[in-house]
Structure 1
Amino acid sequence: MRSRVWWPTTAVVLGLLAAGCGDGDGADEGAGSDKDAAGGAAVSATGGFPVSVTDCAGTRTTFAAAPKKIVTSNAAGLELMLRLGAGDKVAGTGFPPGKGTLPPELDARAQQVKVLGRTVIAKEKLLGSGADLYLDTFASMAGMGGGMGDAPTEAEFKAAGIRHVFLKSTACAADRKTPVTDLSAVEDDITSLGAVTGTSATAKELVAGMRKTVDAVRSAVGGAAPDARPTYFFFDYDAGTKQPVAVCNRQVAHAVITLAGARNVFADCDGDFKPVGWEDVIAKDPDWIQLGVRDRGSESANRAAFDEAQRWLHDNPATKGLKAVKEGHFVRIGSERTTIAGVSNADTVRDIAKILYPGKVG
């Protein structure tokens, strides 16, 4: 069963991150819930606290103050906390970043964060962590890391005093009604986390930086006619090679690919991810293939994983004849910064565009 997903509904200041640990039968009293007479959210007009959010069912939760002890589900969430300046509040993480895999200005601090799980954090360890906020990326990504079926229930989060917050741009992607072609949902996540953690000013700066990066790419390559843009396949090597998994048009990676001036070969697929056949990939015959491997824990291990994925495409009879494989048109950019919400999504747009349009993108 898919984990409960929380969506934002602020009326005054910002589009808030989905959050909460209510059990669906009312507001979460432990989180300081509140409603005005009309049933609306009690949101500070100054951008401070309290900050109110509701879930998909309309259950409202109010944050009376910033969390003091945060646990992140993976390196992407940890990176966001560090970029926002809330890294001193992070008490632990799952899927830790390998040394040197985050930007240098974040790496040293990231290595000091306690590792609660090399993959998914065990249920007992998470509930016993003493955290008052858990930043979760995996609500609709049960295939990532395995063991997601043993995740705490919302009632268990509540009993442990942990507010459960999701990156909605990633976790809720499958439920979008229309294709995603920009990073506005990611920007909303960052803005929302800034509000929840009391770092709104920094969040605003991060979003402005992302927009500047993407706008520069758009100016450089945006004039290319849609049918003249190179076709692009995100090869999720770690999802398995027997049956490839396509990035569909509701996933943030689709927006990244589109903004970079490429055409996702599975843009006609509604949803976030979808298993397809190699015959489908062969029929698309992409101009470029991104070797989407997940962080292996070190730069050398990541290089080895990219080599392995590329070698598999070269050696496999079904894929060795693809145009991208024959021409060596591979993009070596990891999965997380492409498919999970973060500031690095904008950097990935730029990095892909630099490869596809050499000389045009700085």
Structure 2
Amino acid sequence: MRPRVVCGIAAAVALFATACGSGGGGSASITARAVPAGGYPVTVADCAGKETTVAKAPTRIVTSNAASLEMLLQLGAGDRVIGTGFPPGKGTLPPALVEQGAKVPVLGDKAVPKEKLLGSGADLYVDTFGAMPMMGGGATGPTEAEFAAAGIQHVYLLSTACAGTPKAAKAPRTDLAGIEDDIRRLGAVTGTAARAEELVTGMEKRIGEVRTALAGVPEDKRPSYFVFDFDAGTKQPVAVCGRQVANAVITQAGARNVFADCDADFKPGSWEDVVAKDPDWIQLAVRNRGSEEATRKAYDDAETFLRSFPATQGLKAVQEGHFVRLGSEVTTIAGVRNADAVRQIAATVHPDLVKNGQ
């Protein structure tokens, strides 16, 4: 993780879910081996291809943060989660999951301390981060030998853990296949494969409807799009790059991320860079403040800044009022709700073709 972007979207990614890693399509080739629904053993691999075989359904799961926690809640395995790090912020979980999510013990406001994780009694640790020392992986986490000695099996969300590894695809991420693979992989590991398939089918249906609606829009006619990370501060903007899951969300929504060509997930930028791109649309990406009123004020403040700041007030999107009010959590964090973000962006930037974006 780059020190400059440890706030704003990148912090939301860490605090809500994924640290700064979002591997490209490379995760698609490292999926759970095909097994019958609920069948065991299940073999999965990490970013380097090292395999872990899960012999039976885990009963005591710890998650590194709220990305993997939310996936398990969506899969119906939330009652087996005995702790998490980086707990979900107020207002960030879908309403249907809030009550159950609140019951999960918080083992660390950030990364779960090594001793607490090893002594948790868990039989499975779902890791969003991979080898990222600042975010709880690598040098600060347990070794694989220590996990084994504690009886904890260690599996990853590959769509978020593999960005900085040789397995990461170098091309921009343009679809949600890696996230769908993670949902299926966790479904296989937890014995909820049927539910995982339901979730993926629902995502593909929503995205497919958008894709069909936009099929007649040529690439060069799709609007350019900038994700403005207001929570990172206004002195220096953060570029959401091609390897970030948001690039896939934007692409599937029929827009063109103005920073898709930077080979990273996040990268410090400059207002000169943004002015040179002159985007057609700007997403006001703010973190959920915990209440509708407070979150609306954050959107208002972000828009006010862009309208008043000399470097941005002349931008095409600002002049035309082309703002997308969509939270950073559902845009930059891997999960089932990425499909909803696709539809909402598409309905905003292509209102004549895509309806019902909410």
After TM superposition, the score normalised by the length of structure 2 is 0.81
SS of the aligned residue for 2:83 comes to strand
**Cα deviation, residue 147, structure 1:** 10
Distance 1:154 1:329, change over 3 A: farther
The answer to whether the Cα contact below 8 Å between 2:129 and 2:137 also exists between their aligned partners in 1 is no
CA distance in 2, matches of 1:103, 1:190: 17
The residue number in structure 2 matching 1:292 is: 285
Listed as ranges, the matches of 1:1-362 within 5 Å are: 15-16=31-32, 44=35, 48-139=39-130, 150-174=140-164, 175-362=168-355
The answer to whether the Cα contact below 8 Å between 1:247 and 1:272 also exists between their aligned partners in 2 is yes
Q: CA RMSD in A?
A: 3.0
What one-letter code is carried by the residue in structure 2 that aligns with 1:313?
L
CA distance in 2, matches of 1:94, 1:301: 25
Distance 1:101 1:336, change over 3 A: closer
The answer to whether the Cα contact below 8 Å between 1:98 and 1:299 also exists between their aligned partners in 2 is no
Aligned residues: 331
**Cα deviation, residue 98, structure 1:** 4.1
Structure 2: where are the runs of 5+ without partners?
Answer: 2-19
Distance 1:290 1:155, change over 3 A: farther
What one-letter code is carried by the residue in structure 2 that aligns with 1:219?
T
The answer to whether the Cα contact below 8 Å between 1:142 and 1:148 also exists between their aligned partners in 2 is yes
The answer to whether the Cα contact below 8 Å between 1:137 and 1:340 also exists between their aligned partners in 2 is no
Larger helix share, 1 or 2: 2
Distance 1:303 1:141, change over 3 A: farther
What one-letter code is carried by the residue in structure 2 that aligns with 1:188?
D
Distance 1:199 1:345, change over 3 A: same
Structure 1: where are the runs of 5+ without partners?
Answer: 17-40
The answer to whether the Cα contact below 8 Å between 2:284 and 2:323 also exists between their aligned partners in 1 is yes
What one-letter code is carried by the residue in structure 2 that aligns with 1:106?
L
What one-letter code is carried by the residue in structure 1 that aligns with 2:78?
G
The answer to whether the Cα contact below 8 Å between 1:134 and 1:162 also exists between their aligned partners in 2 is yes
The answer to whether the Cα contact below 8 Å between 2:172 and 2:261 also exists between their aligned partners in 1 is no
Identity %: 64
CA distance in 1, matches of 2:245, 2:269: 19
The answer to whether the Cα contact below 8 Å between 1:231 and 1:264 also exists between their aligned partners in 2 is yes
Tell me the alpha carbon deviations over residues 237-260 of structure 1, each in whole angstroms, 9 at most, x when there is no partner.
334433322122222211110110
**Cα deviation, residue 120, structure 1:** 3.5
Tell me the alpha carbon deviations over residues 3-28 of structure 1, each in whole angstroms, 9 at most, x when there is no partner.
9x996867xxxx22xxxxxxxxxxxx
CA distance in 1, matches of 2:162, 2:93: 25
**Cα deviation, residue 57, structure 1:** 4.1
Q: Highest relative contact order (Cα 8 Å, sep 6+), 1 or 2?
A: 2
CA distance in 2, matches of 1:196, 1:292: 33
SS of the aligned residue for 1:274 comes to strand
Tell me the alpha carbon deviations over residues 256-290 of structure 1, each in whole angstroms, 9 at most, x when there is no partner.
10110101111222232222222111100111111
After TM superposition, the score normalised by the length of structure 1 is 0.81
